[in-house]
Structure formats: structure tokens, C-alpha cells
A and B are shown apart, each in its own frame.
Chain A
Amino acid sequence: MEQSSSRRSHFLRFSLRSLRNQVGGLRSAGVRFALGYAILFWVSAGLFLSVIWWGTASLLQRQVEASVAADARSLSERWADGGLSALAITIEDRLEDNVDDDALYLLVDQHAERIAGNLPSWPEAVAMSNVWYQLTIRRAGVRGIAEVQAFDLPKGYRLLVGRDVRGRSTLRHLLTDTLFWAWGVITVLTLIGAFLVRSMFRRMISSIARTTSAIAHGDMDRRMPVSGRGDELDEVAEAINEMLERITRLMDGVKQVSNAIAHDLRTPITRARAQLEYAALHAKDENTLRSAIEEGVADLDNITAVFEALLRIAQIEAGSRRSAFATFDLIPVLQDIAELYEPLADDQGIRLVLRAPDHVEFHGDRSMIQQAVSNLIDNAIKFSPPNGTITLSIATGFDFGSDDRSSGRVVTVDVSDQGIGMSPADMERASERFFRANAARNTPGSGLGLSLVQAIVQLHGGSLRFVLQDPGLSVQMRLPLPEENGKKQVPDMTEDSQTSHPPDRRPLLEIQS
């Protein structure tokens, strides 16, 4: 006894554990999804079958009631027409005509004596008129269930009309059984469906999970499989692939920068180091030492400047610097820059001319635009011959770009000089980091100015073009303007306005010659 109870409790514990394992599966989204599907389907099928059952059952009931009511009405009409005898004859006729043998009639007089009908005596249960009774009757030795109603006739006569519903209840049983079986089959189908849904779900997710984990482990060349059906899964896959493309691009950028740093910062560092080392070993007097150290410091400052420019470019290219975007008038900003550089140009005999409309509403980072234009003017001054003219012109217009960018209003900020220009091959590489055209080797500069301009223009969703002139070079920043009526659409300056400048708008380097 003791033993068997312990075995039972062991079994109970075991089944509890397996149940808990099952429930633990609820943490899986696939199981939850499938279970939800199954329960929904099962319950709705149950509801559907119940409605069918109720509908059919009540239809049968109504049919009985309607036919009894019609019978009673026509019988009472017979009574009114022909009196008691006519009624009795009609009842006997009806019974004879009744093929199904389910009609029940009984006509009795005031002493409850049977006058006509197929029931032997008035059932005791039926006391009130016009009320439905369900009785068990015995007719010709067979038990049956009847639905009957009593009607009062004049002079104390009473009429009982009813139907033997044995056949109907058989039908109802049959219907109930069928529906239960159907529900059972549905339950099995539901479980199979749930299992299929779960495995489908798992397959979908696991393909994404496998690829992303492969990528997370460093296999950056992997991409999500796209079925080409254009469904939601493809959308997810495409979004992930796009993200990967961008990450790869950024990583390439970083790699490129670190290569450039390794290559181009080593030179000035080596120079500074050599200078200081030489001074430490060989300087004969304090002045030599001092000047060597000063040159070393200048070299270090230069390295810092290059470093800062590189970081800034990388930061801008990563698109993380849109926090300072605001709407402002471009013209005073450019006037200020022209005014800042005017004396410097003037000193070198260069004329700096500003051609601009009165107002240009612009959305962007003021400080970056200042820096970009400063860099361009700086370059122009460096490469301008004496008595040359530098033109800073601003024009607005529409950009009917040949690429896929939608055309919209743009402002073109053009810095033209009359200097040595650039060869087409150099123009293509002009905005690369550390690139310096051969002709520019001897001018001061880090080779990062145009890279920075390019990065800033890109951040603003614009494009940078180099146009050869005779003589000289025109560098054009073409920047999109906010919509004319869309002042309200312009994102708030504190907002990271990803939407107004999609990151994949990489302007092409356009060259005209």
C-alpha cells in the first residue's frame, strides 16, 4: 500500500516535471505563436459547431410547434363549421393520412371520455391549455416522446394535438455525435497545424539568427538570404543587409583612416623625433637647442591638427553630428567668412568678390558650413596668382539630378579662383584623405581640407563638384535647401534628423571639364 502510493507520487512528480518542461517551452516565441494559433482555431471551431447545433435543434423544434399550431387551427375551424362529429371525422382522416405515424390527437368530452384520436386516455400531466408538454407515451407497445399541447373547445370538450418526436431526438443525437467527432478531428488538425506553424516560425527565425550570429563572429561578408518574394521576411532581410552594407562601409572608412594615419602621421612624427634626438645629442649651445625644440613643438602641433581633422572627418562621415542642425540664413554667414578672409587676400594682391542674393534660408550645421567654405577660400588663396580674383558666389536653383535623388531646391556655393587648376585625374582624387596634387606639394597644408569639405557636404546631403575653368578651378558645393513651404517640416535643431537626409545619399563626385 505504502509502496504503491510512493510510486504514484513518484509518477506524479515525474509528470509534473515533464509538464513544467512543456510550459518552459512557452518562453520560445515559436511555441507561443503556435499555441496562440491553436487555441484561437480550436475555440473558434467549437463556437462554429455549437452555432450549427443550436441552429438545427431549434429549427426542428420550431417546425414541430408550427405544424401543431396549424393543425389545431384547422381543427378548430372544422369544429366551427361542422360541430363535434365533423371534428371527430377529420381527426380520424388525418390519422389515416399520417404516413409518418407521428401525429397525436385526442378529443375528449367534458367527462374526459375519449371521442376520437390515437391516444387511449387523457394524460394526467396535461392540465393547462395552450402550454407545451413533453410526455412519455406508450403507443402500440412502443415508448415514445411526445410534444403536446391542449386546446379548450366550447362546451367543455378538449382537444390534444401533438407530435411524436422520437425520430427528431434521434436526429439530434446523430447531429450532436457528428459535430463532436468533427470537433475532435479539428482538434487533431489544430495540433498538427500548430506544430507546422511552430517549425515554420523556427525555420524563419533560425535562418536570420544563424546569419546574424555568423556576422557577429566576424564573417562580415555574409548576407541575409532574400527569397525574392518581396514579403515581410524579405523586408527584414533587406533592412539587415542594408545595415550590414553601411557597417561595412564605415568599417572600411575606419580602416582607410587608420592606414592613412599610420602612413601620413609617421612622417611628421619621425621628423620631430629626429630633430629632438639630434638636438639632444649634438646641440652645441642653448640657442640651437631652443630652436630645435621649437621646431619639434611646431611639428607636434601640426600632428595634432592633422589628428583633429581626421577625427572630425570620421565623425562627420559617421553621420553622428546632426545634433547641431538648425535653420539659418546662409548669406550673413558667408559674408562673415568673406570678410574674415578679405584682408588676407588683399595682402597678397588677390581680389575676393562675393556674389550672393539677399537671403537664403538653409538647414544645416552653421559651424560646419563656415569651416567648409573657409577651407575652400583658404585653398583658393593658396593657389591664386597675385592680382587674381577669387569669386565666392551663391546661387539657388533646382537640381534635376541625373542620379536617383529626387530633384529639389538646392543652393550652390561656388568658390572660383584663377590659379593653376587641377588635372582631371587629380580632381577625381582631390577629396581623398591626404591627397595632394603634385603641383601643391610645396604649399603648406595637410591634404585634409577637401576631405573635410566633402564629408561636410555629404552630411548635408549635397554633392561636391570640381569644374575646370580657364584659368583656374571652381569648386562647387551643391546643398539641398529645405522645402519652400516646409518651414514646419524642417526638423527641430535638437532632433537627429535622419529622415531629412538619408544616410545612403552618397553624392557622387562629379567632374566637368
Chain B
Amino acid sequence: MRILLVEDDPTVRGFVVKGLMETGHLVEQADNGKDGLFLAVSEKFDVIILDRMLPGGIDGLRILETLRAQTNATPVIILSALADVDDRVAGLKAGGDDYLTKPFAFSELLARVEALGRRGRNEAAPQTKLEVKDLEMDLLSRTVKREGQKIDLQPREFRLLEFLMRHAGQVVTRTMLLEGVWDYHFDPQTNVIDVHVSRLRQKVDKPFEQPLIHTVRNAGYMLRAD
């Protein structure tokens, strides 16, 4: 993916750029709002990572608002030291697709960037069926089958699996699951999510030879075919 990173802190910028390049992405960078805005409007990117507070008079929200005013729908993830719920809402209202508070784990950023990039490509056609190898999910009849065998899932388990399948091949962090499946925007102290995933595994993976749901160390989970 071609990614634009607008971030003024050189250490954070270097660290993010390096990480993204290592995972096979092309990264353009800008260290101030003016250059960032120029790059964002003049070139085409799959995802833009935008720091909220930038030097040079143009802050992240201004860039975002300008982009959206030009009907540029490039997915934007906002990085911010402002963790307040109201700030988050303001960021999303301005047209941001995701919001990540500093400090963040790189794995969290990467997972979110990849999820956003994928969403940008998939959004055109609404799906009624999800398939990962021999696992099938029918979104209309709300049934799940593996190797043709029906799997009974609770409604919440169904939504958890749906989220994992929609992000098949990508790392999904616990926070993303908590936000996407439960719509909770805080971190519970204990790893409630792990228990839910392990229950899902009992039903989806255990009876079958090859596991699909993998744990990614220090990051989260990934549903993948191999």
C-alpha cells in the first residue's frame, strides 16, 4: 500500500516509516502541515496517517477537512496525544476513519492501517457471503459452515467471527475487537477478549485439522487460511 505519514516528531516518524516499510508498504512522509496537505491533495494514497497537532499553522484536522471538502475519500487515521472522548469525536466528525491515541504500539497502528486500506478496496460491493478456505459464513441466513458442517454460534460469537473474517489475513488487535464487536471504547483491565476468542476457537478450530485463528504475539489475532 502507498501510505502518507504526516508527523512532526522525527523519532516517531522514523519508527513508523521503518516499521511500515519492513511490512512491505511504500511510505511518503511530511513533517509539517503545509507539506502534508500538499502531498495529500496532489498524490494518490491508500491510507493517510495524520498527526493531529502539527507545526506550520495547518494542523491535522485542517488537512482532513480540506481533503473531505474536495471529496477525497482516502481513508485517514488520526494520531493524537489528545485522548479525550470529545477530541476523538471531533476527529471522527471531521472525516477521520480511525483514531489512535499516543503512545501507541506499532502493531496496533499497523493492524489499523491495513484494516483501513483493505476497507477502502472492499467497500464497493456489499457482501452476503464470507469465505476463508473451508470456512463459510452466510450473512443473510446468519449461518456458519466448515467443511460443509454447520457450526452453532452465539450471536456475539458470530459477530466476532464475522469481524475476523472481514479482516482475514490481517492482524486484529484486542482493542479493535473491543471497539468493532462490542463497541466499547475503553480497555478492560483483564483480557476478556482472549477468553472470547478461545471459546470461538473451541467451536471453529478445535474439531478440525487445521487451525484458522492464530495468535500474533504482542499484537492480537489473525484469521488466515495457511
A positions within 8 Å CB-CB of B: 294, 300-301, 304-305, 308, 311, 315, 321, 323-324, 336, 339-341, 343-344, 346-347, 367, 370-371, 374-375, 378, 381-382, 444-446, 449
Contacts and interface: CB of A to CB of B under 8 A. Distances in A.
B189 A449 contact: yes
B182 A340 contact: yes
Nearest to A341: B192
B199 A300 contact: no
Contacts of A347: 195
- The interface size bin for chain B is 20 to 34
Nearest to B188: A374
A353 B10 CA distance: 51
Nearest to B191: A344
In the A-B complex, the 9 residue pairs with the smallest Cβ-Cβ separation, listed nearest first, are: A343-B195, A344-B195, A371-B186, A344-B192, A378-B189, A374-B188, A343-B199, A340-B192, A347-B195
If over half of B's interface residues share one DSSP class (helix, strand or loop), that class is named, otherwise mixed; here it is loop
Contact of A367 (B85, B105, B156, B192): B85
B84 A445 contact: no
Q: Which of B85, B86, B187 has the most CB of A within 10 A?
A: B85
Nearest to B199: A343
10 contacts: A301-B105, A308-B101, A324-B85, A340-B184, A347-B195, A367-B185, A371-B186, A375-B189, A444-B189, A445-B189
Interface string B129-171: 0000000000000000000000000001000000000000000
A324 B156 CA distance: 26
B53 to A, nearest CB: 17
Q: Which of A308, A339, A344, A382 has the most CB of B within 10 A?
A: A344
B92 to A, nearest CB: 13
Contacts of B184: 340, 367, 370, 374
B210 interface: no
Contacts of B105: 301
If over half of A's interface residues share one DSSP class (helix, strand or loop), that class is named, otherwise mixed; here it is helix
A294 B107 CA distance: 14
Contact of B182 (A321, A324, A336): A336
A328 to B, nearest CB: 13
Contact of B190 (A321, A371, A381): A381
A452 to B, nearest CB: 9
Interface string B66-98: 000000000000000001111000000000000
Given A339-B156, A340-B192, A344-B195, A323 B186 contact: no
B196 A305 contact: no
A446 B85 CA distance: 22
A323 B186 CA distance: 18
B182 A323 contact: no
Nearest to B185: A367
A474 to B, nearest CB: 20
Nearest to B189: A378
